[in-house]
Structure formats: C-alpha cells, structure tokens
Structure 1
Amino acid sequence: MRAIYKLTKSKFAKRVFFLFIGAFLMAIGLEIFLVPNKIMDGGIVGISIILSHVTGVKLGLFLFFLNVPFFFIGYKQIGKTFAVSTLFGITVMSLATIFFHPVPAFTDDNLLATVFGGIILGAGVGLVIRYGGSLDGTEILAIIMNRQLPFTVGEIIMFFNIFIFGIGGFVFGWDRAMYSILAYFIAFKTIDIVIEGLDQSKSVWIISDKDDAIAKALMARLGRGVTYLKGEGAYTGDDKKVIFCVISRLEEAKLKLIVEEIDPSAFLAVADIAEVRGGRFKKKAIH
C-alpha cells in the first residue's frame, strides 16, 4: 500500500477516481448490455458469466472470488501498486454488478447489445489499465506465464479465450459465442483508444541532403519543434543530419507533402507513439 501513497494527494485521488469509473463502466457493460443477452466477455469474466448462468449465483460473487487469487500473484510478481489498484478495481466491479443486476437490459437487440456493451466495457477496462490496474486475472496469469513460455502475453490470452468462448458456445449457443467474440474485439479496440488516446502521436525520422530547408519548413508550416540527430552512412561513411520530430496523427499527411515538395528522394520513416511527455511537444502558434 505504501507504493501508492508515494503519489501526491491529487494524483492519488485522480487514480482512485478513474479506477472507480473504469470498474463501474465495466459493470454497466456486463449487467446492462452483455449478460442479459447471454453475450460473454473473455478471461475470468467469461468464466464467471458461464458459472453464474449455470449455478444461478450472482455474477459479482464469481468475479470477486475467482479474481482474488490473481491479486496475490500480482502482489508478489508484478508489484504492490498494481496489485492494490487491481484489488480496488475488482471490488468496485463486483459490487457494481450486484447493484446493477436487477436493472433491466437497455436493449434486447443482440447486435446493439454487442456493440454498445463492448464499447462501454472496453472503455472501463482501458481506464483501469491506464491508471495502473487490471480487472481480469487472466492478464496477470499471462504476464507471469510469458516469462516461462515462448509465447507473447497476447497469444496466451488468446488461447485462454478460445477455450472460454468454446465452452460458452455449448452453454449459450454458437450464435451467442460469435456475438461474444465480436463484443470482445470491439472492447479490445476501445481499450487501445482509451489507453493511447484519440489523438495518437507519431514519431518521424527524415534523412535528406536538404535537411535545413525541411526542418525550417516543418517549424514554420506545422509549428512543430524538430531535433537534429547525428548519423553516419554505413556504406559511404558520410556524416548525416537526421531530423527527428513528433507530430499528431492528423498532421502526418501535411508533413509528407512538405518533405515531398522540398526533397522527393528524402528518406522518411513514421512510427506510432503510445505516449508523449515533457519536452516541447505542444504545438506552437503559427502566425
């Protein structure tokens, strides 16, 4: 618990707030959209939905007690802050699903339930991950197994989910299993958007004999700062200036146009960036 309290009070309050909102949103996605229409999520949540349907026991109880063992694993293997944030999120999610259980579904249209349930659930999970926690023990197990097995975390989670959705097909019917896979895919993409943001940043590397002209044009026409990196051609041994710049997703096309106008033969590489902090990334006003 001490690890969390190293945060300032405002940052700690912000983390708790968004962990709460994220877990609350996941409960809404489950109990008001997916579960009433017999549509599943993956992981421990999916197992909990199946067990709740078969036994008649409230979903929130399974969500809590099946995830608690992974809290202790996470505490030892990943870190205290992550484990405490996860326990808080799982507790809120479990209690919220019990609270929302009597509330009737917003829609009985399977496609609408799948799409909106997946979006809301993904937004909730994304917020919790962004602020240092997890709402499903499968992710923790996959991180630990990844250290021992020649598979990525994503591959391990995918294997678990294929197995879980397969069981769901026998319990709820194969049409519901297919809706569940669609909901899972929608949630997965929503998680990416929440974690990385809608205005995703991109890093750009440019190598050109007209480096000064390109750098000045980027600063003048995009309002972005640029940095020169020292490079050397491996074949020729010539010294090169490498232009490095960080732009928003919407500025990529304009940057390419600027480079093309000045030096059509310039080397240009563009890559996605999940997060940008510090420095002078904020755009300067162009007069």
Structure 2
Amino acid sequence: MKQPHHSKLTTKKFALRSIMMLLGASLVSIGLEIFLVPNNIIDGGIVGISIIAAHLFHLPLGAFLFLLNLPFLFVGYKQIGKTFALSTLFSVFVMSVGTTFLHPVPPITIDPLLAAVFGGIILGIGVGLVIRSGGSLDGTEIIAILFTKKSPFSVGEMVMFFNVFILGSAGFVFGWNNAMYSLIAYYIAYKMIDVTIEGFNESKSVWVISDKHKEIGVSIISRLGRGVTYLNGEGAFTGDDKKVIFCVINRLEEAKLKTIVEEIDSAAFLAVGNIHDVKGGRFKKKSIH
C-alpha cells in the first residue's frame, strides 16, 4: 500500500522540479533577450562567453549557449551523476530555445542601467530556481569544483576569477561603459540567486537521523562519492540511542542527497546548513561519482 504512494510522491516531485526548471530557464531567456543582450550587457560564465561569441560571429545566441555547455554536461555526468546532467541538459535546452524565440522581440528598455538592474533580477531568480531544482545553467561552476580539488582556492574564488576575466573581456567588445553595466547586472543576479535559494552556499553540512543510517550512509558514499561520519546520539524524550549521519556536500549535490534520504527513509530527520569555509580532510579532493 505504501509503495504506490511513494511512487506517486516521487513522480509529483519530479514533475514539480521539471516545472521549476522550465520556469527558471525561461526567466533566464527573458532576462537575456529582453533586457541584457539588446543593450550589449553580458552575464558571467558560459552565458557571457556565448553573448560575446554571438555578437562577434553574428550567429544565434541559443546555439552558443547549447554548444558551449555540452562539454561541461559531459563532465557533470561523469563527476556528479546522471540526474544532475539530465536536469542541466533540460534547463540549458529550454534556455537556448527560449533565447532563439525571444530574439525578435523588441527590448522593454534601452536604458542600460534599467536593463542591468531588471535583467539581473530576472536572470538571478531564474538561475536560482534551476539550481534549487537540482540543475545548472552554467558549466564554469562545474569546472571550478573540479579545479578546487587540486588548488587552495574555493569554488567561489574560482568562479569569481573566471567571471572577472569574462566580464573584463566585455570592455574590449562592447566598450567599458557596457562592461561596468555588466558588472552591475552580474552582482544583482548573484544576490538574487542567494535570495531565491534562501542563502544557498557553496558548501553545506548535512545531518541525518534515521534507523536506516547504514543504508543511507552507504548510498551517500556510493552515489555521491562523499565520506560520511556516524555520530552517537540519544533521544531526549525517549532516551533511545540514535546514530547521526554527518557529511559535507557542495550546493549542486543537495537535491540528489535529499532524494537519496527520502528514497530510503521518508521519515528520516534531515537538516542542511550553510558552511562558509571547509578545510582539511578529504572534502576538496574527493571525486564525485
């Protein structure tokens, strides 16, 4: 009796996540084609590179958004998993198609400051919805996660380095005024991503209390490639001994970890918290499978 209910719940959540990714990617398309691109304002990452390439080669933006993200989708599949890669592929496809259809639509404003502000807001909300649903729209973050395994820099520092270079390149292509407007749009989008996903940070601590702690721990190790620690706990009301699972993940893995816990024990206690810095141990060097 419980299994069909669990299947329906999974299907419902899958449908909800798909809708959220569809909405998020569509918002990104609107932010790009209705606000930023017509005013020669770019975003960071692969999106920024795609805007510059589309301008230089006079080809559709959507084609570059899709093609330039393909190598990172392959890396994401190998390092993070099939679910993440398929979610990202779906989101990138929707974004690429959306920009293609919206390209003939005239911009709402030709004021670069207004375009940077409102384009950044819409873009940030869209990206936040996609990340919150377990996908991604930009391959630079995946590469940054891989680079941090062999370097002393954090994911945020690596992403910032990439984006400073990309946004700086906009000065040579679109002029320095537009490059500064691009910085404004990027900053607003970055803040809106945090607001949309409620303080979503680069690394997260996870605490799980469940009678099926061994199954959950083994699944986290095998499916996410993350080490786990079992802690001894005691229920304050019942006095029963409890095992507490503790692990640290990056923000791209949160949706998959929640799915793992729910599949094994839907009644498990799960707490996820933000971590501002992670040092020591094997967290940065651990491969993700």
- Alignment TM-score, normalising by the size of structure 1: 0.67
> d(CA) in 2 for partners of 1:115 and 1:172?
18
Q: Tell me which of 123, 140, 157 is aligned to 2:125.
A: 123
Q: Tell me which of 24, 27, 32 is aligned to 1:25.
A: 27
SS in 1 for 2:197: helix
Alpha-carbon offset, residue 94 of structure 1: 0.3
**Residue type at the aligned position of 1:165:** L
1:71 aligns with 2:77: no
- Alignment TM-score, normalising by the size of structure 2: 0.66
**Residue type at the aligned position of 1:147:** K
Specify the alignment match of 1:188 in structure 2.
190
Alpha-carbon offset, residue 110 of structure 1: 0.9
Specify the alignment match of 2:105 in structure 1.
103
> d(CA) in 1 for partners of 2:113 and 2:127?
21
Alpha-carbon offset, residue 162 of structure 1: 1.1
**Residue type at the aligned position of 2:128:** G
> d(CA) in 1 for partners of 2:70 and 2:49?
14
Alpha-carbon offset, residue 79 of structure 1: 1.3
**Residue type at the aligned position of 1:120:** I
Specify the alignment match of 2:17 in structure 1.
15
Specify the alignment match of 1:214 in structure 2.
none
> d(CA) in 2 for partners of 1:97 and 1:47?
15
Work out which of the two has the higher radius of gyration on C-alpha atoms and give 1 or 2: 1
**Residue type at the aligned position of 2:99:** T
Specify the alignment match of 1:263 in structure 2.
none
Gaps of 5+ in 2: 1-6, 200-234, 237-271, 275-289
**Residue type at the aligned position of 1:153:** V
Q: Tell me which of 145, 158, 161 is aligned to 2:160.
A: 158
Distance 1:16-1:168 versus aligned 2 partners, 3 A rule:
same
C-alpha RMSD of the superposition: 2.0
> d(CA) in 2 for partners of 1:60 and 1:189?
25
> d(CA) in 2 for partners of 1:57 and 1:30?
15
Specify the alignment match of 1:81 in structure 2.
83
Alpha-carbon offset, residue 76 of structure 1: 0.3
Gaps of 5+ in 1: 198-226, 229-271, 275-287
Distance 1:131-1:71 versus aligned 2 partners, 3 A rule:
same
Q: Tell me which of 62, 65, 70 is aligned to 1:60.
A: 62
Displacement over 2 Å in runs of 4+:
none
Higher relative contact order (CA 8 A, sep 6+): 2
**Residue type at the aligned position of 2:81:** G
| Identical aligned residues as a percent | 65
> d(CA) in 2 for partners of 1:111 and 1:166?
18
> d(CA) in 1 for partners of 2:189 and 2:106?
22
Query: May I ask how many residue pairs the two structures share in their alignment?
Result: 199
